[in-house]
Amino acid sequence: ASEYEGMWKSLGMDLGAHDQLLAVLGQGYTDVFLSQANRPKGMDYFNFVMSEVHGLRIKEMLEAKEQGEKIVGSYCVFVPEEIVRAAGATLVGLCSGADFAMEEVERVLPRNTCALIKSSFGFKLGKVCPYLESADMIVGENTCDGKKKSYEELNKLVSNLYVMDLPQTKSENARALLKAEFVRFAKAMEELTGNPITVESLKKGIAITNAKRQAMHRLEALRKADPEPISGLDALLASQVSFYDAPVRFTESVNALCDELEERVKDKVAVFPEKTPRILLSGCPMAVPNWKLPWIVESSGAVIVGEESCVGERGLRNLTDDSGQDVESLMEAIVDRYFKIDCAIFTPNEDRADHIVQMAKDYKADGVIQYALNFCQPYQIEAMGLESRMEKEGIPMLRIETDYSPEDAEQLKTRVEAFVEMI
Ligand code: BJ8
């Protein structure tokens, strides 16, 4: 890793702390991913990406930046990727899935803030995230209370924060707000990059982003097979990598993986035996390297067949209509696409419950695990309501509330094992 030291230093990172983080990340990756049996060959690419996640990928982004390409970081799948790409900028995900510099974090945020928010602050305060440090613009969004209030604090730590307002209902007025915010964001992108957003550039941005989603749809469809040609952990990894990787290369790699998986399905080559209990994971997004719960599930005699999550199907399922012939109609299509996202910050949010039921049926799940981070009210409250809905549908459901620490792993494993045995 040392070949990148100069690069990390130039980004103002804390090399000692960063070494520690990489060591933990590397060990976690070896234990969780490389130890899996019978992985598809196509996962080699993702192994490589992960081994270079703070190295080669940052290097190529910084090289592009020297040629004038801007980097935009985001914490939410509501930030419209099509518009970022139309302005010729790169979009990267900034959510983080590990505790870091928690003592410092708890000096700026209450202890009972969700792990996802705290972790993002820890990566900033600990100076260990090269994505955050290389971003020309950081986009925050007014979603849950925790996020929107914490951006006020983040604004004191960075000089390039842009906050997008988001609606909380699916009314007509709410849609108008989203539209106005996307128009404002498009202008901000033009200003940041100096590139005008045109019909051509929007169509290109839509095409790149849709292709990425379509490749992931292919992967998701292949997970409907029994036996499973790919583990849930590996499929989740592909979703996680989609937030960092160069999109065209990512799309090609996922499609190559899918070619291989198609063969596997035909030949019944699998990672778990046929009739392994099938779990649908649902709830809060899982950012790298938050692999605790999926790892527990897949080492407890079950396989994860889908993720109802922003790092998963909630974030990827809808495509943007590219048939419009002017900027206005393409922008409308983008708004339509994002307005369908059924995040738990919306009220009411019945679509999400319907989607979970639909996914459970489509993926032939034997049970659903509702995963919510501690202190995440939107997903915790929805999980309670979902219990009765799932009961009505005859779908067994387990509710898990946890954080990023390994402390409850044993206890979680006991509960997950009992659930798997029951379904
Ligand atoms: S569209 S899910 S990415 S807001 S876990 S920070 S909700 S307290 S992440 Fe999200 Fe956008 Fe919605 Fe998706 Fe708050 Fe809960 Fe923490 Fe959360």
pTM exceeds 0.80: yes
Atom 11 of ligand 1: nearest residue by CA position? 76
**pLDDT value at 382 more than 70:** yes
E-strand ranges in 259-396 read 278-283, 303-308, 367-373
Contact in structure between 334 and 80 (CB atoms under 8 Å): yes
pLDDT tens-digit readout, 209-220: 999 999 999 999
Q: What distance in angstroms lies between residue 144's CA and the mean position of ligand 1's atoms?
A: 6
User: Percent of the chain scored above 70 by pLDDT?
Assistant: 100
d(CA 307, CA 281) in angstroms, rounded, equals 5
Chain centroid to CA 398: how far? 22
- From 96, 105, 144, the mutation candidate for ligand 1 (largest count of ligand atoms within 8 A of CB) is 144
Is the Cβ atom of 80 under 6 angstroms away from ligand 1?
Answer: no
d(CA 189, CA 423) in angstroms, rounded, equals 49
**pLDDT at residue 63, as a whole number:** 98
CA distances 273 to 199, 227, 229, 231, 361, Å, are 49, 6, 10, 11, 20
Is the Cβ atom of 290 under 6 angstroms away from ligand 1?
Answer: no
Is the Cβ atom of 223 under 6 angstroms away from ligand 1?
Answer: no
d(CA 326, CA 354) in angstroms, rounded, equals 34
**What's the token pair of residue 254?**
């996922």
- From 94, 95, 105, 116, the mutation candidate for ligand 1 (largest count of ligand atoms within 8 A of CB) is 116
Contact in structure between 271 and 39 (CB atoms under 8 Å): yes
Residue 322 — very low, low, confident or very high, per pLDDT cuts 50/70/90? very high
Residue 69 — very low, low, confident or very high, per pLDDT cuts 50/70/90? very high
Q: What distance in angstroms lies between residue 295's CA and the mean position of ligand 1's atoms?
A: 22
Q: What distance in angstroms lies between residue 40's CA and the mean position of ligand 1's atoms?
A: 31
Measure the CA angle with vertex 331, ends 327 and 336; round to 5°.
150
Helix (H, G, I), strand (E, B) or coil at 304: strand
ipTM: 0.96
- From 114, 281, 308, 400, the mutation candidate for ligand 1 (largest count of ligand atoms within 8 A of CB) is 114
**pLDDT at residue 97, as a whole number:** 96
Is the Cβ atom of 150 under 6 angstroms away from ligand 1?
Answer: no
- From 145, 148, 341, 345, the mutation candidate for ligand 1 (largest count of ligand atoms within 8 A of CB) is 345
Atom 3 of ligand 1: nearest residue by CA position? 76
Is the Cβ atom of 94 under 6 angstroms away from ligand 1?
Answer: no
The DSSP symbol for 320 reads: P
- From 164, 282, 311, 373, the mutation candidate for ligand 1 (largest count of ligand atoms within 8 A of CB) is 373
**pLDDT value at 1 more than 60:** no
The dihedrals phi and psi of 365, each to the nearest 5 degrees, come to -75, 140
Average pLDDT over the chain reads: 97
**pLDDT at residue 122, as a whole number:** 97
Chain centroid to CA 36: how far? 22
Which residues neighbour 367 within 8 Å (Cβ) at sequence distance 6 or greater? 277, 278, 279, 280, 395, 396, 397, 398, 419, 420, 423
Is the Cβ atom of 216 under 6 angstroms away from ligand 1?
Answer: no
Contact in structure between 163 and 142 (CB atoms under 8 Å): yes
**Cross-strand bridge partners of residue 145:** none
**pLDDT value at 2 more than 90:** no
Question: Computed from CA positions of residues 120, 123, 126, 129, in that sequence, does the dihedral angle turn out positive or negative?
Answer: negative
d(CA 248, CA 44) in angstroms, rounded, equals 17
The dihedrals phi and psi of 404, each to the nearest 5 degrees, come to -95, -5
Atom 7 of ligand 1: nearest residue by CA position? 144
Is the Cβ atom of 76 under 6 angstroms away from ligand 1?
Answer: yes
Is the Cβ atom of 97 under 6 angstroms away from ligand 1?
Answer: no
Ligand 1 atom at shortest distance from the alpha carbon of 314: 13
State which amino acid sits at residue 33: F
Residue 347 — very low, low, confident or very high, per pLDDT cuts 50/70/90? very high
**pLDDT value at 33 more than 60:** yes
Is the Cβ atom of 310 under 6 angstroms away from ligand 1?
Answer: yes
Ligand 1 atom at shortest distance from the alpha carbon of 145: 14
Taking the alpha carbons at both ends of the chain, their separation in whole angstroms is 45
pLDDT tens-digit readout, 162-194: 999 999 999 999 999 999 999 999 999 999 999
